[in-house]
Amino acid sequence: MSVGNLKTEGTKGTNYSWQLSVLQLLDQILVASGGAGPTGGATEATQLLVKTAVESIQTLLTTTARVPSMVRTSTDGVVAAGARSVSIFNAGTSNGELLGAVLKPGEMMTFDAAAQDDTVNEITYDGTGTELVITKLV
């Protein structure tokens, strides 16, 4: 925060009201968190809570290299559970089957586990008489 702008012509050049609202908000946060104010320091317990929160965020932000794979098949089978993302494309000229439903030529279905630790369950398919292209990201 600055000491304040010294221009006196109306409110031009001053950000006093914004600075005041920020200080009032910080005070509300301090009171709501049970802080001791400027005369007290953080307790060891509070510091450990902050450390744990920071470590949790670091874990979420850690990147993981995903392994892609691709298979072409004209048979039936199962894509095993545990992938982060699975796409099945009917590249043939006849209908295929995916999860008991018809997958027409040129159609593609993608199953994506959106949350951090989620995975896709097993997926049944039948490419007999056509060609399915299955891509997976583990």
| Selected residue with higher pLDDT from 37 and 111 | 111
How is the chain split into domains, by residue range?
16-61, 68-137
Q: Dump pLDDT digits (tens) for 56-115.
A: 777 666 677 788 899 999 999 999 998 999 999 999 999 999 999 999 999 999 999 877
Nearest C-alpha neighbor of 110 from the set 73, 100, 99: 99
Q: What is the pLDDT of residue 96?
A: 95
Q: Band of the pLDDT at 36, cuts 50, 70, 90?
A: low
Q: What is the pLDDT of residue 55?
A: 76
Q: Band of the pLDDT at 4, cuts 50, 70, 90?
A: low
| Selected residue with higher pLDDT from 108 and 138 | 108
Instruction: Answer yes or no: is pLDDT of 10 > 60.
Output: no
- CB burial of 1-18 (b: ≥16 within 10 Å; e: otherwise) equals eeeeeeeeeeeeeeeeee
Q: Rounded distance, CA 50 to CA 16, Å? A: 32
Q: What is the pLDDT of residue 101?
A: 94
Q: What is the pLDDT of residue 28?
A: 75
Domain 68-137 in CATH 2.60.120? The answer is: yes
Q: What 3-state class would DSSP assign to 95?
A: coil
